[in-house]
Structure 1
Amino acid sequence: MSILSKFSFKDQAFKLRENAILDAATSVLGSKGYDLMTMDDVAGAVGISKPSLYKHFKSKEELVGEAMVRLLEGAIEQIAGLDPALNPREKLMALLEWALRVRLAGGLPFLPSTSPHVREMLMRNFKYMTRVLKLNRQLEGLVKQAQKEELLNADLPADVILFSYYARTCDPSVEYLQKFSKMSDDAIVKNMLQVAFDGFK
């Protein structure tokens, strides 16, 4: 095996472990929240020592920031991969469906909506903020285009629709339905989409 191949294998192993760490961090964040989550929790979930974890991320703040960046990048990739034939309203529905499914699988903690400390921390994270602004521009564009095509209520300010849309991604009803109702995840997603886009009619 060449030296280059050895380095390549080492880099791949490092990246795989990093992804496993981010998966674990996202899961722990979803169940315990930022304040209760510890680096020991994450290391234990991955099955590595805490010193090994610190080789990848120097602090809980850095780890959480990177986990949130990865989630935003996933949303941006989803938008980029949407069928161009979909109208703006259908694209918004498709992205919300993706977010709800990721959330039902335990992979979408909504920390900024629940913790002022985390909001402040993330606002200092340049990488996170650039992704937030990019995603917000894209979603705002879809909302305004949907209003222009009379697919969404044009009498409502675009910001009202946009921030209500964000709220649907972190609606606690999802967890209650998953825990206490007898509905499948598919049924939960279907009903949440109907409530989000058609109300209670």
Structure 2
Amino acid sequence: MSIFSKLSFKDQAFKLREDAILDAATRTLAAKGFELMTMDDVAAEVGISKPSLYKHFKSKEDLVGEVMVRLVDGALEQLESQPKDLTPTGRLRALLEWALRVRLGGGLPFLPSTSAQVRTMLTRNLRYVTRVLKLNKQIEGLVEEARRTGELNPELPTDVILFSYYARSCDPAVEYLQLYSKMTPDEIVEAMLKVCFDGYRMTAPQS
């Protein structure tokens, strides 16, 4: 039995509305960014009054913090659900594919990379910081293991690979391809994965 099914009807309705608020906030953040987003925007997107919104989140900062916590939780769940026989590079590739697909669907606002105000706000959010440290440790471990096995270039420092990997998840090329190319989402994801893990050089033909 799921935790959700154990809730009372009233609590289930509250949780469903909270999820709808987080979905709306994610879409609004992706479209407007933190500075331009307002609580009025989110309330209108959900179709509720602003007082009702404040019953769930007391400020824009709290709301955005919870959006980012949910995002990191999604990444942790994705890692946890991966097949155990995947190689370290296979796991990194699968996580990046997940991130790119969520992003193409408008569900991945990479706010910390674009706003100093958001970075400062999130460093004070213990729930977010705890999860980010956990996620970073897992990804760093995969990078180090892939370097040891030769799946990734051992001549490159772990930090170079790690932060380059993070950069791929918020590469503006994704938006440009989505807006201006004739590529499908699947084609965009596959191309970005090839750029990340294979680079621009043509691979040698199979003999």
Mapped partners of 1:154, 1:48: distance in 2: 53
Q: Which residue of 2 aligns with 1:138?
A: 138
Q: Which residue of 2 aligns with 1:48?
A: 48
Q: Could you tell me which amino acid in structure 2 is paired with residue 28 of structure 1?
A: T
- Per the TM alignment, residue 117 of structure 1 is displaced from its structure 2 partner at its CA by 0.6
- Does 2:13 align with 1:13? yes
Q: Could you tell me which amino acid in structure 2 is paired with residue 106 of structure 1?
A: G
Summarize the alignment of residues 27-176 of structure 1 with structure 2, pairs less than 5 Å apart. 27-176=27-176
Q: Could you tell me which amino acid in structure 1 is paired with residue 68 of structure 2?
A: M
Whichever structure has more helix as a proportion of its residues is 1
SS of the equivalent of 1:108 reads coil
- Per the TM alignment, residue 48 of structure 1 is displaced from its structure 2 partner at its CA by 0.4
SS of the equivalent of 2:82 reads coil
- Per the TM alignment, residue 187 of structure 1 is displaced from its structure 2 partner at its CA by 0.1
Q: Could you tell me which amino acid in structure 1 is paired with residue 200 of structure 2?
A: F
Mapped partners of 2:13, 2:149: distance in 1: 48
Calculate the aligned-residue CA RMSD, in Å. Answer: 1.0
**Unmatched tracts of structure 2, length 5 or more:** 202-207
SS of the equivalent of 1:100 reads helix
Mapped partners of 1:157, 1:146: distance in 2: 12
Q: Could you tell me which amino acid in structure 2 is paired with residue 117 of structure 1?
A: Q
Deviation sequence 1:30-79 (CA, Å, 0-9, x none):
00000000000000000000000000000000000000000000000000
Name the TM-score, length of structure 2 as normaliser: 0.94
Name the TM-score, length of structure 1 as normaliser: 0.96
- Per the TM alignment, residue 192 of structure 1 is displaced from its structure 2 partner at its CA by 0.2
Mapped partners of 1:139, 1:21: distance in 2: 29
Mapped partners of 1:96, 1:88: distance in 2: 12
Percent identical residues: 69
Mapped partners of 1:144, 1:118: distance in 2: 29
Aligned length: 196
SS of the equivalent of 1:82 reads coil
Q: Could you tell me which amino acid in structure 2 is paired with residue 169 of structure 1?
A: S
- Per the TM alignment, residue 125 of structure 1 is displaced from its structure 2 partner at its CA by 0.3
* Structure 1 residue ranges, 4+ long, deviating more than 2 angstroms after superposition: none
Mapped partners of 2:117, 2:153: distance in 1: 35
Q: Which residue of 1 aligns with 2:181?
A: 181
- Per the TM alignment, residue 197 of structure 1 is displaced from its structure 2 partner at its CA by 0.6
